[in-house]
Amino acid sequence: MRRTTVLRAAVSAGLLISVATLGLTQAAADEAPLSPASASREPASSALITAMQHDLGLTKQQATVRLADETAARGVERTARRAAGTSYGGSWFDAKSGRIVVALTGAGPREAVEATGARVTRVKHSQRQLDATMARIDALDAPAGVGSWHVDPKSSSVVINVVSTHRNDNDVRDFVTRARASGPVSVQQTDKAPSTLAAGTVGGDPYYTGNVRCSIGFSVYGGFVTAGHCGRPSAGVSGWDGSYIGNFQGSSFPDNDYAWVNVGSGWWTVPVVLGWGTVSDQLVRGSGEAPIGASICRSGSTSHWHCGNVLAKNETVNYSQGAVHQMTKTSVCAEPGDSGGSFISGDQAQGVTSGGWGNCSSGGETWYQPVNEILNRYGLTLHTA
């Protein structure tokens, strides 16, 4: 197979669900740290800086500084969390100060946490308490008028997103009442409900299973990871040029939204995410998890390359097919045909596109399934540069 074919297929990205959900797992919180070599590199290519200027409204200097701050913040977040111990109430990246903010309960060790370079704020509830509340709400049956819910360290609560047109429905009110009995809860309204939306077979740089089009997320040794709703185990996969790639070796949806496909028949893997001409193709050098508030970009076979911010983690999204847990929510837009595609922050792999609402003309939100959970679940190794 021609090298151009392999490169295009091995790093294509796509979204099967334009109005769907994504996932983050608690297991992803303790991903492998950045290597010293990675931490000392330039944070991004000039083309990526240009994309962040366009999508995030930053100057060139602001984008460069922000990426450097976010790279440093990933390491601080891990150290600060250990220092906080049982008083840890969550954390997020503050773009204005360029620092990680760590929430502490009670008389938690403020000085020890600040010594790591983090800012500290006091909250009522620990991460453990919020996670327990989240688990109890996950056990409830949610009506269609409830879009999603997630742990929010800033408000020290579990935020429930209710579709505005259904806020007065009896079943929605009943769900919120039962959720409040589970622990600290806040309620917000959203204009759109999450839903799945598969794309038909069209041209471009996707992969196909049956008449469904999706996209490659990240190369792993032996194959690639993608979204679970794109195919069931043993389903055959063909590339953008119609040639056979391999088969789904594992897949989970709903509850999760992840899968992996083996690669053979003249195809091979490369540690690259397509920039679609908007930016240069991006090398993948690790999977250090970006904090809430960090910048993030997405590559997909329909809408190509777009950037935004991490809005929330540990969000449960209420699909019509069933709830998907531990997703990460972003302000990045997506469209049908982008499912399974790559979410990347700097040169660090973040996750595979699951779904969202809106589009890339008027805007919207998109969720992803964190890549470290997928790697851990199937015992895979990310292919890095």
Known catalytic residues are 229, 257, 339
Contact 278, 346 (CB under 8 A): no
Q: Which of 147, 384, 187, 159 is nearest to 287 (CA)?
A: 384
Task: Using the structure block, give the residue that is written with the tokens 């931490």.
Answer: 39
Q: How many CB atoms lie within 10 A of CB 171?
A: 14
First vs last Cα of the chain: how many Å apart? Answer: 22
Torsion 71-223-381-213 (CA) sign: positive
3-state secondary structure of 177: helix
Q: What is the DSSP letter of 240?
A: T
Query: Which residues, at least 6 apart from 324, have a Cβ–Cβ distance to it below 8 Å?
Result: 20, 21, 22, 23, 253, 254, 255, 256, 257, 316, 317, 354, 367, 369
Contact 315, 304 (CB under 8 A): no
Q: How far is CA 253 from CA 190, 196, 303, 322, 364, in A?
A: 24, 12, 23, 8, 23
Q: How many CB atoms lie within 10 A of CB 202?
A: 12
Q: Which of 101, 94, 93, 98 is nearest to 122 (CA)?
A: 101
Rounded-to-integer distance, Cα 162 and Cα 149, Å: 9
Q: Which of 168, 254, 282, 224 is nearest to 14 (CA)?
A: 224
Rounded-to-integer distance, Cα 251 and Cα 290, Å: 25
Q: Which of 215, 190, 212, 196 is nearest to 204 (CA)?
A: 215
Which residues are paired to 259 by β-bridges? Answer: 226, 251
